[in-house]
Amino acid sequence: MTERTGNWTHYRTCNLCEAMCGLEIAMDGERIVAIRGDKADPFSQGHICPKAIALQDIYADPDRLKSPLRRTAAGWESIGWDEAFDEVAANLKRIQAQHGRNAVGVYLGNPNVHNLGSQLLLSTLVRALRTTNRFSATSVDQLPQQFTARLMFGHQLLLPIPDVDRTDYFLIFGANPLASNGSLMTAAGIERRLKAIQRRGGRVVVVDPRRTESAALADEHLFIRPASDVLLLLALVHTILAEGLAHPGRLAEFTDGLDALWELVAPYLPEVVSGPTGIPAETIGHLAREFAAAPSAVCYGRIGVSTQRFGGLCHWLINVLNIITGNLDRPGGAMFTTPAIDIVDKGRAGKMGRWRSRARGLAEFAGELPAAVLAEEILTPGEGQIRAMVTVAGNPVLSTPNGRRLDEALASLDYMVAIDIYHNETTRHAHIILPPTTGLETEHYDLIFHVLAVRNSAKYSPALFEPAAGARHDWQIYGTLAQRLSNGEKLLDPAHPLNQMTPAMMLDFGLRTGPYGQDGLSLEKLQTEPHGVDLGPLQPRLPERLFTADKRIQLVPELMAQDMARVQQVFSDGTQELDGFDLTLIGRRQLRSNNSWMHNAERLVRGKERCTLLMHPNDAAARGLATGQTVMIESRVGCIELPLELTETIMPGVVSIPHGWGHDRPGVQLRVAQRHAGASINDLTDEMVLDDLTGNAAFIGLPVRVGNYK
């Protein structure tokens, strides 16, 4: 890449969230002049959010690490790459030789799915570590959706995507796409897409304990008591079946379990679930009839239903609702993409239960254990205890339940290495930090998010800037470490042909062998289309796309049917106040924030304080609290202080805290974030409270109490 002069324009896709917004970056030589939405991008059509503007801030951030660092008694010191690689490999090998291969654990953070190098080559390092103690952000996020897809459709990534551009009725559970730009529903410009539903006479309905930005735009918003979504979904399915409104159409030809469904949902009349959900029975009945009668409809749920104690059942019932009304695999319903690089066809379907966590006995899924058990696997003595950790682009101290306990656990490790660009709340515990290039220094292609997009497309973004002298891309770090850990394994030999391939070479191979390769799609072709290429709307793919052995949908998987007993038990016990924990905690998504490190970008934290506790005025009055004052929030596992913000947009009895804050821990070197430290919601969340079916963390519905700051 040669140095450029004068005015010119660089086009790329923003990789800071799932939306895949096309960017137009105006340059003056090597200096960024402006970042705007790319109106010629066929997918995003000029949409942009505030995060994209901050790409330049992250690239130029003086706190961003650019060379390896080693922690010493006197502080951090710079070391060379070869010395760092040698030391890391020697220590990990030593610990595994002394305590067994599972004495090393690995945690993979959310940014890895936004990164081409990680998507293609991080598995090389994970395999070289030879450990079953693998963890990732999956089990504090979307695991229930992957789990459900595996059981019903045969593959963990065969995820139904709302065809929002053609639907007549969009029913949203626990999601706020106006803040997230879509999640497991890549939909740049989602506000425009939702308003288009309304302009063509359709309806948008949001079910959420808070009147979110998306709920405010919707035609109807239903407040629901946190973590009771499973009951509402059961009642919707019950009503549709009881009133003869089910019409699966052609889906019935390859769907098993339609007859078994009624027995499971029969007890859940709208009148039965009205009390626990807080939604009138007549409203539930009307919602079911309206959904079933719409010319096309789609039900969609996200983080608010994923991260609760019945996350797996919720996503199962969302799929069931779409199937029994004939709204799966049809225009305007829930559909499956045809990505240019078909990682579903080439990827792992998602095995489960091959091993269990040592201390609590929780099952693995797709090669990973639930992140909620990470701290106990480090702190519990005995054979198999984790004594060393490798973290890659992750900050689990702020993103997994009971972060204070994980803080304690990481501090006790014999050794830790972090592949990360920041000294954050997690990496401060590392002995060595290996910082890769980032963002504008890397080429980009969204392997995952093209699989989750509301329209088929493809786009390649070259790097904007040359890496600094001596810098390493993440995939180069993974490969070098894997080779030094390999112990002679053939597949990790530097001379092996697979290890000679760069991400660009692998990308080109994937495009040429993908669904559009026969039509000439290749990396070379995408390089001539800087705005990306439109590959058309989603198309019906079933039953051929199914990965079940018999190419049939499993409408009532045995594990789902068994878990229904837990619903009856939990809700028959009622909601009991525990030691004064009389409020229910939920999280909230914010447009200017996705991962915790974004709080170190000045333009993303400007304005009013956003790490606040939301509370209904009636709840505040009952406790003698006033807006703006600092209050204490306490749960079983911890206590934090935050400013109080009163609003009628949250239902009484519920309070809300955003995720990703809490930058006041010693040793953190994030100057902007520390000035806007806030407090971590995960210093309150409980690692012992999970969705028992999937192992996903249950952040939503946590009992807390709130009082005056002392």
Cα within 13 Å of Cα(646), Cβ side? 14
Is residue 401 scored above 90 in pLDDT? Answer: yes
Between 316 and 487, name the one with better pLDDT.
316
Query: Which DSSP helix (H) or strand (E) runs through 355?
Result: strand 352-356
What's the CATH class of domain 576-708? Answer: mainly beta
Q: What is the pLDDT of residue 487?
A: 72
> What burial letters (b/e) apply to 391-406, b meaning 16+ CB within 10 Å?
bbbbbbbbbbbbbbbb
The token pair that represents 222 in the structure block: 């239903």
Q: What is the pLDDT of residue 495?
A: 57
Rounded to whole angstroms, the Cα distance separating 412 from 111 reads 26
Query: Which DSSP helix (H) or strand (E) runs through 292?
Result: helix 281-293
Q: What is the pLDDT of residue 681?
A: 97
Q: 119 CB contacts (<8 Å, ≥6 apart)?
A: 112, 113, 447, 448
Rounded to whole angstroms, the Cα distance separating 395 from 137 reads 9
Instruction: Please choose, from the candidates 281, 296, 245, 337, the residue with its C-alpha nearest in 3D space to the C-alpha of residue 536.
Output: 337
Q: What is the pLDDT of residue 234?
A: 98
Percent of the chain with pLDDT over 70: 97
DSSP 38-89: -TT-TTTTT---HHHHTHHHHHH-TTS--S-EEEETTEEEE--HHHHHHHHH
Q: What is the pLDDT of residue 177?
A: 96
For range 340-347, the mean pLDDT? 90
| 659: helix, strand or coil | coil
The token pair that represents 529 in the structure block: 């289309």
Regarding beta strands 654-658 and 583-588, do their DSSP bridges make them parallel or antiparallel, or are they unpaired?
parallel
The Cβ of residue 358 has, within 10 Å, a number of other Cβ atoms equal to 20
List every span in the chain annotated with CATH 2.40.40.20.
576-708
Where are the extended beta strands (E) located within 375-501?
A: 388-392, 415-419, 432-434, 456-458
Q: Residue 499 — pLDDT band, cuts 50, 70, 90? A: low
Is residue 630 scored above 60 in pLDDT? Answer: yes
The token pair that represents 550 in the structure block: 């018999």
Give me the amino acid identity at 465.
F
The token pair that represents 395 in the structure block: 């900050």
| Residue pLDDT, tens place only, 568-590 | 888 876 655 566 899 999 999 89
Q: What is the pLDDT of residue 1?
A: 54
Q: What is the pLDDT of residue 165?
A: 98
Q: What is the pLDDT of residue 572?
A: 78
Contact by Cβ (8 Å): 39, 45: yes
Rg (the chain; Cα; Å):
25
* DSSP-assigned beta bridge partners for residue 554: 256
Query: Which DSSP helix (H) or strand (E) runs through 237?
Result: helix 229-242
The dihedrals phi and psi of 271, each to the nearest 5 degrees, come to -65, -30
Q: Residue 597 — pLDDT band, cuts 50, 70, 90? A: confident
The mean predicted confidence, pLDDT, of the chain is: 95
Pick the CATH number of 69-141+343-536 from 3.40.50.740, 1.10.10.60, 3.40.50.620, 3.40.50.10490: 3.40.50.740
Q: Residue 10 — pLDDT band, cuts 50, 70, 90? A: very high
- Token pair 């390896």 is found at 68
Where are the extended beta strands (E) located within 263-350?
A: 298-301, 334-335
* DSSP-assigned beta bridge partners for residue 32: 27
Where are the extended beta strands (E) located within 601-701?
A: 613-615, 630-634, 639-646, 654-658
Contact by Cβ (8 Å): 468, 421: no
Q: What is the CATH number of domain 160-335+545-563?
A: 3.40.228.10
Is residue 45 scored above 80 in pLDDT? Answer: yes
List every span in the chain annotated with CATH 3.40.228.10.
160-335+545-563
Instruction: Please choose, from the candidates 291, 127, 104, 103, the residue with its C-alpha nearest in 3D space to the C-alpha of residue 207.
Output: 291
Q: What is the CATH number of domain 7-60?
A: 3.30.200.210
Query: Which DSSP helix (H) or strand (E) runs through 34?
Result: strand 31-37
Q: What is the pLDDT of residue 573?
A: 67
Is residue 662 scored above 90 in pLDDT? Answer: yes
Q: What is the pLDDT of residue 203?
A: 98
For range 685-708, the mean pLDDT? 96
Contact by Cβ (8 Å): 52, 23: yes
Q: 132 CB contacts (<8 Å, ≥6 apart)?
A: 102, 355, 364, 369
List every span in the chain annotated with CATH 3.30.200.210.
7-60
Rounded to whole angstroms, the Cα distance separating 5 from 30 reads 7
Pinpoint the alpha helices (H) of 513-557: 523-527
What does each C-alpha distance from 154 to 148, 161, 184, 254, 545 come to in angstroms?
A: 9, 16, 18, 13, 10
> Looking at 121-130, 316-325, 590-599, which range is the least confident one?
590-599
Query: Which DSSP helix (H) or strand (E) runs through 708?
Result: strand 702-708
| Residue pLDDT, tens place only, 462-492 | 999 999 999 999 999 999 999 999 876 554 5
Calculate the CA dihedral of residues 166, 172, 175, 180 and round it to 10 degrees.
20
Q: What is the pLDDT of residue 195?
A: 98
Q: 214 CB contacts (<8 Å, ≥6 apart)?
A: 172, 175, 176, 177, 178, 179, 194, 206, 208
Q: What is the pLDDT of residue 489?
A: 58
